Amino acid sequence: MALSLALVGCGSMGSALLKGWLTLPDSKKRFEHFWIIAPHRGSVSPFLYDERVQWFSSPSQLSKTPDLIVFAVKPARLSEILPAYKPFETLVVSVAAGKQISFYEALLSPRARVVRAMPNLPVSVRQGVIGFYAHATLSAIERARLETAFKELGLIFWVGSDDEIDKMTALIGSGPAYVFYLMEGFIEAALSLGFSESAALKISLQTFLGASTYASFSQTSPKSLRKKVTSPQGTTAEALKVLERGHVYTLLKDAVKAAYKRARELAHEGESL
Ligand SMILES: NC(=O)c1ccc[n+]([C@@H]2O[C@H](COP(=O)([O-])OP(=O)(O)OC[C@H]3O[C@@H](n4cnc5c(N)ncnc54)[C@H](OP(=O)(O)O)[C@@H]3O)[C@@H](O)[C@H]2O)c1
């Protein structure tokens, strides 16, 4: 059965999900309606070309309970936003960082079924990674409904606790930003060698895409692949010595830990709103 999906919030993540859903090859089989609830029509207008997409400024305008409600709003806004969704006894997915399942259960209908999800922006091009956490009591039918909505937007991982979703937030949700940051550095390096901005961007994009695609088709680990590129006394060996002197691995580990710590702090932010 094709789903009626309500998406609350159509900012960076909401619109990435919507773009992914609309461009799935079997999108029309999976989704009958996309009801987008957002304060401003402007964020939804790029998607109104599809007749299944409708914009609403408030959930009270929905004439029917959606099969699935996806919250893609800032964590600090949730305590103000969720009470308007209490009448809906349905499956609810929140992509918000930090807020635990018990937080939603306290504000939504006792008959709502809450799932935490942690996607990343590449869901927009169906190359995302998505972590899910729900209570073990989530029924097979509800899991199947989730699968219908999210499969093929990216690689799916189920975890067993709120804490693991917070860890996934640091890896999956924030992960693309770490890669973009490295790409920015790569572009800076190309510019410093005298390449034009356009060439630096193209070289950076294709090197990251090529290396990642090559690694995903390869039977060996990134470590072995890196060794294959590194001949003793060669150019790569000289470059890697510089990265090792800068303790880049340690910095990455510290960065991920800082994001995880921040995800845990977000659990308690905005509760006084
Ligand atoms: N961005 C990412 O890469 C990423 C990754 C994983 C998870 N997340 C999670 O996704 C959530 C959204 O993040 P984001 O980056 O997409 O933020 P964002 O770009 O600021 O989008 C949030 C959207 O919520 C809308 N909004 C505000 N009040 C609303 C209401 N009462 N009802 C419906 N929509 C409302 C805002 O609309 P206006 O702008 O018109 O006010 C805005 O478009 C966060 O909880 C974040 O933790 C984000």
pLDDT tens-digit readout, 96-129:
999 999 999 999 999 999 999 999 999 999 999 9
Atom of ligand 1 nearest to the CA of 15: 16
**Domain boundaries in the chain?**
3-172, 175-263
CA of 129 to the centre of ligand 1 (A): 18
**How far is residue 203's CA from residue 104's CA, in Å, rounded to a whole number?**
45
- Reported as type and span, the H/E element at residue 234 is none
Q: What is the pLDDT of residue 186?
A: 98
pLDDT tens-digit readout, 205-225:
999 999 999 999 999 999 999
Nearest CA to ligand 1 atom 5: 173
CB of residue 91 inside a 6 A radius of ligand 1: no
In terms of CATH architecture, what is 175-263? Orthogonal Bundle (1.10)
Tell me which of 3.30.2290.10, 3.40.50.720, 3.40.50.300, 1.10.1740.10 is the CATH number of domain 3-172: 3.40.50.720
**How far is residue 188's CA from residue 204's CA, in Å, rounded to a whole number?**
10
Determine the average pLDDT of the residues in 59-76. 97
**How far is residue 103's CA from residue 114's CA, in Å, rounded to a whole number?**
10
Closest Cα partner for 18 from 64, 66, 62, 50?
50
- Test site for ligand 1: of 7, 8, 10, 12, most ligand atoms within 8 A of the Cβ: 12
Rounded to 10 degrees, what is the CA torsion of 249, 254, 260, 264? 170
